[in-house]
Amino acid sequence: MIEFKKLFCDLTKSCSGKQEDTEKVALPQEQKIFTIQSLISATNNFENKLGQGGFGPVFKGKLEDGREIAVKKLSETSKQGKREFTNEARLLACIQHRNVVSLLGYCAFPEKLLVYEYVVNESLDKLLFKSGKRDVLDWKRRYSIIDGVAQGLLYLHEDSHERIIHRDIKASNILLDKKWRPKIADFGMARLYPEDKTHVNTRIAGTNGYMAPEYALHGNLSVKADVYSYGVVVLELISGHKNSTFNLVPECQNLLDWAFKLYEKGKGAEIMDPTLATSADPNQVATCTQIGLLCTQSDPKLRPTIRQVVVMLSKKGGPLNEPTRPGYQGVKTRRPSRPSSSSSSVGASSQADSVSSRSTTTGSTWAFAGSTSHAHHNHRGSSYISSVSDPHGKRPIEG
């Protein structure tokens, strides 16, 4: 019961910004505290698993009033999951946007569970990276996902009550509703972001293939790290290929490398998923490819803000800047110095893709490619970062 009270206080505190306001400020009315019995019955004793991420499994359920729900269950052994639980509940309690998943409520005792609206077409990765299902996503739908995720991020970065960096934008964290509108999900790693700071230094937690170089190498976190991950998702949507497991062209290290090499030769359109041949608008595809490359520039200053992306997509902006070579997680430069538990997870399943690192620990080491990258030197003067894979994929959020 104490834990429950603490969470409730934490939630109300974070919405109000002040602890002493706890009694005055209520949670948004739609949000509810669920009993464990009601969730056991809604999910038929956690029978239908929708997905598994770093935090724990997610199950489908139905409330007595008929509403379908998704219930995220904290894995009992996970200490870090408790922080992610509070973090996600706290942040989602305060935000509401059509392109962000809605938290209906939670159960804090005896188990920790988060209850969301069920998003009918589930996550983008389940469609985009499965060859039999990709053609469901025609160009119109993909373009509306590109646009909707940008709108959702704009809300998080600039328009919400608090400025929020999501930190784990990727295909499996984008849910699609019945009209194929995207909703950004999974706020376990998100961070509040002080308005007067350009970046914060933090522990590194994210997913291989989606993490911006300055963040993965130095722990420098800013809204531009989300812009980078967004750019990867845009190029994945256009091509139907997953960046971290890209192996179509042996001489290209990943999707970004391939996209840029073709773009340089004036053949950017060739990255397009062949299933889009009949539905694509070539101008929109070209604009989105350029946006994807601009968002994944190595130097965060060369990346647009998400507001600028929204303007580019609305066609109200002028001509787009020319991208230089993107920055990306590239050459493996040294073997892990730790035994088995610290292997890298590039190219593994989506759960194992999640990595967490501290620039002071040892493990796999990575360099970054990209024209303006500060690769090989972090702020402590060390030449490498280390990436320690975590059984639960993610790490707690720092202070």
Ligand X SMILES: Nc1ncnc2c1ncn2[C@@H]1O[C@H](COP(=O)(O)OP(=O)(O)O)[C@@H](O)[C@H]1O
- Give the residues lining the site for Mg ion (CB under 5 A): 53, 173, 186
Determine the size of the site formed for ligand X (CB under 6 A).
Answer: 21
Spatial strand order of the sheet with 32-33 comes to: 32-33, 103-107, 113-117, 68-73, 57-62, 49-52
Binding map of ligand X across residues 148-177, x = CB under 6 A, - = no contact: ------------------------xx-x--
Q: What is the dihedral of CA 3, 9, 14, 16, to 10 degrees?
A: 170
Identify which of residues 55 and 258 has a Cβ nearer to ligand X in the complex. Answer: 55
Of positions 39, 70, 127, 233, contacts ligand X by CB under 6 A: 70
Q: What is the dihedral of CA 149, 152, 154, 155, to 10 degrees?
A: 180
The yes or no reply on residue 228 touching ligand X (CB under 6 A) is no
Out of ligand X, Mg ion, none, which partner does residue 182 contact, by CB within 5 to 8 A per kind? none
Out of ligand X, Mg ion, none, which partner does residue 123 contact, by CB within 5 to 8 A per kind? ligand X
Out of ligand X, Mg ion, none, which partner does residue 254 contact, by CB within 5 to 8 A per kind? none
Residue 214 CB, nearest approach to Mg ion (Å): 23
Identify which of residues 51 and 268 has a Cβ nearer to ligand X in the complex. Answer: 51
Identify which of residues 186 and 257 has a Cβ nearer to Mg ion in the complex. Answer: 186
Q: Catalytic: 168? A: yes
Q: Encoding tokens for residue 42?
A: 């809604």
Residue 335 CB, nearest approach to ligand X (Å): 29
SS3 104: strand
Of positions 123, 296, 357, 359, contacts ligand X by CB under 6 A: 123
Of positions 27, 92, 107, 119, contacts ligand X by CB under 6 A: 119
Helix axes 223-239, 255-264, angle to 10 degrees: 70
Within residues 30-49, the interface with ligand X by CB under 6 A covers none
CB atoms within 10 A of CB 346: 18
| Phi, psi angles (nearest 5°) of residue 145 | -70, -45
The sign of the dihedral angle between the CA atoms of 289, 98, 169, 275 is negative
Quick check: bond before 300 cis, omega within 30?
no
**Nearest Cα residue to 223 out of 153, 173, 310:** 153
In the complex, the residues that contact ligand X under the rule CB under 6 A are 50-51, 53-56, 58, 70, 72, 101, 116, 118-119, 122-123, 172-173, 175, 185-186, 188
